[in-house]
Chains A and B, each alone.
Chain A
Amino acid sequence: MVLIYFAGIDLGSTMTKVVIIDNDEEIRARVINHTGAEHRRLANKVMEEALEQGGMAFEELTYVIATGYGRMTIPFADRNISELTCHARGVYHYFPGVSLAIDIGGQDAKGLKIKEGKLIDFVMSDKCAAGTGRFLEIIAAALGHKVEDLGSISSRATGKVTISKTCTVFARQEVVTRLSEGASLEDIVVGIHDAIAGRVASMVARLKEGPNVLFTGGVAKNIGVVRALERNLGCEVFVPDEPLLSGAIGAALLGKEITLKAQARGEPAHREKRHLDEATFFT
């Protein structure tokens, strides 16, 4: 059988993710890169990197789906699909029993109620930095640590310093004040993880779902937030090996489904004259 490929590109607020799968849904390439202010325009470079990793040419991609915050700006995609749909498809691929998917990214948090791979309901918060990855980034900077180290710092804690302020700006001050009063860094970080988890847990409570909870997005790499979510939800929380890729994988899988349906109708799936151009960010 001739190998054909499907690509998903997830242009997030903070990271850009590309996954290329083959006909058997095996992952042939995966790239995660910073979106950045300038790189946002250079999504084609991230795609080139993935093509090089997978050893195929752009023309060999049967279908390309863009998703995420910046999906409208990708000129080389055949179609763009909402990140909610792609996430739902991606998490179902990882974990077919999933009933609730929580995704905490750089600038938003989402809760997806999923039944047999289909999105039934969702809640989303992108109006306020509290409860998103940005909250952790800002607090980490105020504490003088890297955001990726917060998880291991919290593992050494012996207690918890409760953070009372919701607003990221005020919580940052509160953290600095607590530190200057002599509270332990570790206990403060536990308090911060509890603050973000508490906010997200109360947001998803409306969906009344569980206990099969899958946690994705960049923040799912933080073991402290995983544990805090478990405490707040009162159930076990699963994290896939690569929690950033669920949207891109879902997009690639949807590309395959769309192609199969088009072929069944005897139609070509992808757009003609598709070029791997820079994102047209300003138009």
Chain B
Amino acid sequence: MACYMGIDIGSGTSKGVIIRDGALEVHHVLPSGTDYRITAQGLRDALISKAGLLAEEIAGIVATGHGGGIIPFNNKHVADMLCCAKGINHVFASARTVIDVQGQSSQVLRLDGEGQVTDFAISEACASYSGYFLEVIADVLQIELGDIGPLSLNARNPVTFTTGCAVFGESEAISRVSEGIPKEDILAGVHNALSGKISALVNRVGLEEPCAISGGGGLNIGLIKRLEKSGIQLLVPPHPHIINALGAAIIARETRNLQ
């Protein structure tokens, strides 16, 4: 009965899991805050207590994500791309493409049958490829992030954003609000814009089905529906946002078993 922990310190939220005998036991999510060390310790304590374990019972810990490199107690730091591939392969062994939509970047990975990355496209230079674009517009409209996806599906006349820039998109959304355009139509517009950018990333590596989605974007039904409308059928895991943490825990287990 070996337990392993994976910790994913993201730009906005941090996710952690414990796996027992290779299966997901518990998971936990915290805001990343400004001090990643404190966040990581908080995650570890919460996970251990949720699982009813003692700290000594965790046989290995792998950290990943934006802030994964600086946490004090991990055995190993692994790039999020590898954790994502490993996590998706665990949930959907058949997946050959993964779209990982995070708070500040998006990546599209091509996988082989073993869950190894064979090709990838990543966008981390521009915020408009990421969940950040949605967050900014949700803020303007004063709508909870969890509600924007479903609301966007009620749009009658989706607005077209003339800009691909998250900063200019914010002013554009403010203008549309002042013109009396319904929030649903504005939300549909920003989802369309993000979906278009992600499709372009997918085209860079080429789509091989089945394709899965992970990251916070996988929690957004509005984004999923639009990607599907553009011809990308998606496998959606039960907890898409913890895929990278799950992958990290699996890597911790594999590393241990090799030793």
B54 contacts the other chain (Cβ, under 8 Å)? no
Cβ of B179: which chain A residues have Cβ within 8 Å of it?
282
**0/1 string, B165-197, CB within 8 A of A gives 1:** 111100100110011000000000000000000
Return A280 CB to nearest CB of chain B, in Å: 13
User: Which residue of A has the minimal Cβ distance to B179?
Assistant: A282
Stretch of A75-83, A84-92, A164-172 lying at the B interface: A164-172
Given contacts A166-B125, A167-B127, A169-B132, contact A127 B165 (CB under 8 A): yes
Given contacts A37-B174, A37-B178, A107-B168, contact A169 B127 (CB under 8 A): yes
B126 contacts the other chain (Cβ, under 8 Å)? yes
How long is the Cα–Cα vector from A165 to B164 in the complex, in angstroms? 17
How long is the Cα–Cα vector from A168 to B178 in the complex, in angstroms? 24
A195 contacts the other chain (Cβ, under 8 Å)? no
Partner of B163, one of A37, A127, A180: A127
A134 contacts the other chain (Cβ, under 8 Å)? yes
Report B143-176 residues with CB < 8 Å from chain A CB: 163-168, 171, 174-175
A197 contacts the other chain (Cβ, under 8 Å)? no
Report A168-227 residues with CB < 8 Å from chain B CB: 168-170, 180
- Size category of the B interface is 10 to 19
Report A17-75 residues with CB < 8 Å from chain B CB: 37-38
Tell me whether A134 and B104 are in contact (CB under 8 A): no
How long is the Cα–Cα vector from A167 to B167 in the complex, in angstroms? 9
Q: How many A-B residue pairs have CB under 8 A?
A: 39
Return B52 CB to nearest CB of chain A, in Å: 37
A138 contacts the other chain (Cβ, under 8 Å)? yes
User: Which residue of B has the minimal Cβ distance to A177?
Assistant: B34
Tell me whether A167 and B125 are in contact (CB under 8 A): yes
Partner of B164, one of A37, A38, A127, A170: A127
Return A108 CB to nearest CB of chain B, in Å: 10
Tell me whether A170 and B104 are in contact (CB under 8 A): yes
How long is the Cα–Cα vector from A135 to B168 in the complex, in angstroms? 10
User: Which residue of B has the minimal Cβ distance to A108?
Assistant: B168
Report B119-134 residues with CB < 8 Å from chain A CB: 125-127, 132
Partner of B175, one of A37, A165, A168, A170: A37
How long is the Cα–Cα vector from A135 to B127 in the complex, in angstroms? 14
A112 contacts the other chain (Cβ, under 8 Å)? no
User: Which residue of B has the minimal Cβ distance to A180?
Assistant: B34
Tell me whether A134 and B125 are in contact (CB under 8 A): no
A98 contacts the other chain (Cβ, under 8 Å)? no
Report A116-156 residues with CB < 8 Å from chain B CB: 127-129, 134-135, 138
Cβ of A129: which chain B residues have Cβ within 8 Å of it?
165, 167-168
Return B226 CB to nearest CB of chain A, in Å: 22
Return A230 CB to nearest CB of chain B, in Å: 27
Tell me whether A168 and B163 are in contact (CB under 8 A): no
Tell me whether A128 and B174 are in contact (CB under 8 A): no
Partner of A134, one of B34, B127, B168: B168
Return A211 CB to nearest CB of chain B, in Å: 32
Q: Which of A38, A107, A282 has the most CB of B within 10 A?
A: A107
Cβ of A166: which chain B residues have Cβ within 8 Å of it?
125-126
Partner of B126, one of A37, A135, A167, A180: A167
User: Which residue of A has the minimal Cβ distance to B130?
Assistant: A169
Partner of B167, one of A38, A134, A282: A134
Cβ of A38: which chain B residues have Cβ within 8 Å of it?
178
How long is the Cα–Cα vector from A107 to B126 in the complex, in angstroms? 17
Return B103 CB to nearest CB of chain A, in Å: 11
Cβ of A167: which chain B residues have Cβ within 8 Å of it?
125-127, 166
Cβ of B34: which chain A residues have Cβ within 8 Å of it?
180
Report B213-253 residues with CB < 8 Å from chain A CB: none
Cβ of A165: which chain B residues have Cβ within 8 Å of it?
125
Return B196 CB to nearest CB of chain A, in Å: 14
Q: Which of A107, A134, A169, A180 has the most CB of B within 10 A?
A: A169
How long is the Cα–Cα vector from A6 to B101 in the complex, in angstroms? 54
Given contacts A107-B168, A138-B167, A169-B132, contact A128 B178 (CB under 8 A): no
Return A198 CB to nearest CB of chain B, in Å: 15
> Can you name 19 A-B residue pairings with CB atoms under 8 Å?
A37-B174, A37-B178, A107-B168, A107-B171, A127-B165, A129-B165, A129-B167, A135-B167, A138-B167, A166-B126, A167-B127, A168-B127, A168-B165, A169-B127, A169-B132, A169-B166, A169-B167, A170-B104, A180-B34
Given contacts A38-B178, A127-B165, A128-B165, 16 further A-B contacts (CB under 8 A): A37-B178, A107-B168, A107-B171, A128-B126, A128-B168, A129-B167, A129-B168, A134-B168, A167-B126, A167-B166, A168-B165, A168-B167, A169-B166, A169-B167, A170-B104, A180-B34
